[in-house]
Structure formats: structure tokens, C-alpha cells
Chain A
Amino acid sequence: MKKLVLSVAALALTAGLASAQTVRMGTEGAYPPYNFINDAGEVDGFERELGDELCARAELTCEWVTNEWDSIIPNLVSGNYDTIIAGMSITDERDEVIDFTQNYIPPAASAYVALSADVDLSGIIAAQTATIQAGHVAETGATLLEFPTPDETIAAVRNGEADAVLADKDFLVPIVNESGGELVFAGEDVPLGGGVGMGVRESDGELKGKFDAAIQSMKDDGTLNDMIKKWFGDEALVF
């Protein structure tokens, strides 16, 4: 009996060594086309496809988890997952807390969307909490109205609670196109942030290195540009 227990334990131990550590990918799942939950209830979008490709290139086993945007950084540093891949722009404030890989989306424009093009952009502007757009609105002196999810910022413009919404242009384009003229872009595009990158723990240099290399290889062979065009349209900025 004892022998049996021992051999089972030994087997379990070697099995544990053989299977590589799983890398848990944290995302929000509410920001199409970057990431969203599809009809089947799974994480889908540009970052899903990108992340799976990166994991394949870096020879990692990856698993997808969703987490609310508000607590996405605290849960990374406390180790509930290993990366943030959630359309997160690289900013100095975030860089103090976590590390970023090199960007996988070039610094892209943010844009205002409103019910009419000549809306006063120093009025009430909606933005998602703790985003670079929210920071920008606060700096321009307009009244900032924050929402926990991107979808609610759009709803606020539709029902008149806010005059306009400031968000990533890539997120807004499909919404404006499908609104049938109800929503339009207003004012100039605003360039913000240093592009979108993956967030990792500052102490996780090895993982950061692997993903950096994988992103670089996708940039070099052009697959990253193809993927950006596939999800964000032909006019999207590429590398």
C-alpha cells in the first residue's frame, strides 16, 4: 500500500514537472474589437487572436481569464494572472506599477463621438474610468463623467447624459458606422499614449522577454500588420 502511494506521488510529481507552467492572460472582455465575449461565451477579438499566436510562438500554454477593468492591475500584481492584454495603452503612470512589453498596436488616435459634429467639447465628456482618455478629459478642463465599462460611455451620449465620449478611435469606428447617422465624430482626433502593449509584473522579466521576442517576430514577418488590418480595417495604423 505504502509503495503504491509512493509511486503515485512520484508519478504526480514527474507529471507536474513535465507540463509547463500555464500563463494566465487577463483581459476585460468588453472592448470590441480589442477583446469581447462572443456569442459562445468565450473571449474573442483582436487580442485573443494575437495572444494565442504570441503564446504559440513563445511556446507557452496560455489560458484566458476576464477581470473587471477597475481592478485589472491590482489582480496582476497580486498574481491572480500573469499578463494584462486588454487594449491597455502604455503610459508613464502605469509603467511605475507594472512593466509593458513593446507595443503591438502603434500609438493610435483617440476621438470624440457625439450626437452632432459641432458639439461643445468643453462640456460634459464621458470616458471609461482609469483610462488615458479620462486623464485627458480632466486636463482639458471639460467636465469628466466616468463609467466602469466602455459600453456605458456610449449609452451616456445616446441618452444625453454626456455631450460627447472620448475613447480609442478603433473602438468607436464600428459603433459610429452602425449607428445609422445618429452618432458622428466631433472635433479633431487626439493622439494619446505610447501605443498598446501587454502588461506584466515588474519582477517577471523572463516572461516579458519571451513576449517581446514574439511580438518582434510578428512585426518582422508582417503578420501583426495583417492582423491589425483584419480587425481594425484597412485605414488602421500599422507598423
Chain B
Amino acid sequence: MFSFCTDPDALEGVKWLSCYLTTGKHQSMYWAVGTVLLLLAITAPAALLFGFGGATAARSRFRPLAWFGKIYISIVRGVPDIAFFLFFVIALDQAFEWVRHQVKCPDWDQEIWQGNDFRVCPEAKLPLGNAAQWVHETYGFFLAVLTFAIVFGAFAANVLYGAMQAVPRAQIETAEAYGMTHRQSFWRILVPQMWVYALPGLSNLWMVLIKATPLLFLLGVEDIVYWARELGGSKTAQFTDYPHPDWRMWYFAALLVFYLAFTRVSEIVLDKIMRRLTKGQATMGGEKQRKAAA
């Protein structure tokens, strides 16, 4: 990285550290921080969308849709995350490839499942076998986003379902008295008011989601915990210019600071949102705000 880094053995103190912390391997770790943040930025709205869909489906007056919503919520909430991540992603990947195989190679004469092996025709591979490594990584990343969204969506669905039930019946009754249709009273009265009941549950989910990101490594995405373990492990001089003993403690301490800072910032933001949502609500919090202002 720096010009004086050509002979690390001769360096000491801060100079050595500045070279050490800017090796290609460390830069991979800094990228991984970005990966985690990007994953959160995409997964959170996606999971909320899944949750909203699940909750409205579960409340639906159309029976099969209600069953679908309730089954989604209860099955996904019941399966351990780690089992879901180990099994589901491979299954999802194979399902995509199976569908592509049926479409692209209708006259393929070999079995797809040969014993343990899963073999589709080369054109159906996802991504294609000769695609660049970044394509594979991006594909893995989006599989991860989808899996996280499905898992956390089920929890969010339950939270939102409860929140929708918590909106006072009198509010809906008033809407009906004004002649609003079912759809109108849902979008204009129920949805804007339910968030204040949903937020504590959703903020819990957000915190759990932040801490669940190390599960990424199970999906083949190299996250910060993987790099901390890899970089912190003891290194012998034969294989690196920067030999050091077991430094995992320091790397994990850095992760601790990162996660604590991140959750703290989240708490502050969530508090702000809560105050905003409470405004004008017929809840104790809303009443308190009104009195304080008056």
C-alpha cells in the first residue's frame, strides 16, 4: 500500500502497523464491512415487505390466502435459523437450476440426481460455470438476502399481524361510519396507526438481524467474522511478511466495538422514529407527548 512497505521486517511500531493493516487481506475485511452494511440495507426493507405480505395474507377474508399466510409464519418461525440456512439455500439454488434445466435443455438424456450428485446441463447452471468470480459472489449475496428476507419476514409478519389487531376497533368503526370501503379503511386508518404498535417488535428484529449477519458465512459469503478469525489466527513467518501470534482477541474486540456502536446508533434512530410515530396517537405515549406540549 505505502511505498515504505516493501520490507516489513525492518519496520517497527506505527509504520509496521500501518503496513500490516493495509495488506490486500485486510482490505478484503474492510470490503466485508461494506458487504454486511449492504446486506442489512437491502434485507431490512425486503423482510418488511415479506412481513407485510405475510400479515395481510394471514388477515385475509379469502381462506386459502389466510392459510398460506399463517402456514408461512408458523413454519419459518419454527425452524432453527441455522438449519434453514444450511438446507434451504442449497435447496433454493437447486430449485432455480432445476427450473432452468427444464426450460433450456428439454432433450438432456442424463439423470439430474445421480446418487449424491446434482447435475444439470451446463447452460442451466446458475451462474454459468464460466462466469466471473464476482458474478458468483453477487449471486451468493442475493441468495443470502432472499433467505434472510424470508426468515425475518416471517417474524415481521407476526409482529405486524399483532399490530394490526391492536389498532382500536373504534377507529375502524368510525371509518366505516364515514362510508369507507374495507380497502380504504385498511390503507387510510389501520396501516398508518399500526406502526406504533409494531415498532418495538420490529426494532427487536432489526437488532437480531444485525447480529445474525455472521450466518452469511454459512452461505459462502465472506463476512467480517470470517475475516476476523482468518486474520487473527497465528501466522508463521514462512507464509506471510507479517508473522504474529494468536491475535483473534483484538480482532474480535474490534468487532465488539463495531457491533455495539452500530446497535447504539440504531437505538437512537429507532427512538426518534418512535417519538414521531407516537404523535397524535390514542396511546399512553401519545397522551404524554400531548401533555408535555400543552
Contacts and interface: CB of A to CB of B under 8 A. Distances in A.
Q: A and B, one complex?
A: yes
B133 A155 contact: no
Q: Which 6 interchain pairs have the tightest Cβ spacing?
A: A40-B24, A151-B233, A41-B24, A22-B130, A41-B25, A203-B114
A237 interface: no
Interface stretch (A60-68, A121-129, A133-141, A211-219): A60-68
B236 A40 contact: no
Given A22-B130, A40-B25, A71-B218, A30 B233 contact: yes
B136 interface: yes
A78 B112 CA distance: 11
Interface of B: 23-25, 27-28, 86, 90, 93-94, 97, 114-120, 122, 125, 129-131, 133, 136, 217-218, 220, 222, 229-230, 233-234, 236-243, 246, 248
Interface string A42-58: 10110000000000000
A39 interface: yes
A103 B118 CA distance: 25
Q: Which of B97, B133, B233 has the most CB of A within 10 A?
A: B233
A174 B243 CA distance: 12
A68 B90 CA distance: 15
Nearest to A175: B236
A36 B239 contact: yes
A225 interface: no
Contacts of A44: 239
B116 A97 contact: yes
B234 A155 contact: yes
Contacts of A82: 129
Contact of A78 (B25, B93, B131): B93
Given A39-B23, A41-B27, A75-B220, A158 B246 contact: yes
Interface in A187-215: 201-204
A4 interface: no
A201 B118 CA distance: 9
B94 to A, nearest CB: 6
Nearest to A29: B230
Contacts of A61: 130
A203 B243 contact: no
B90 A202 contact: no
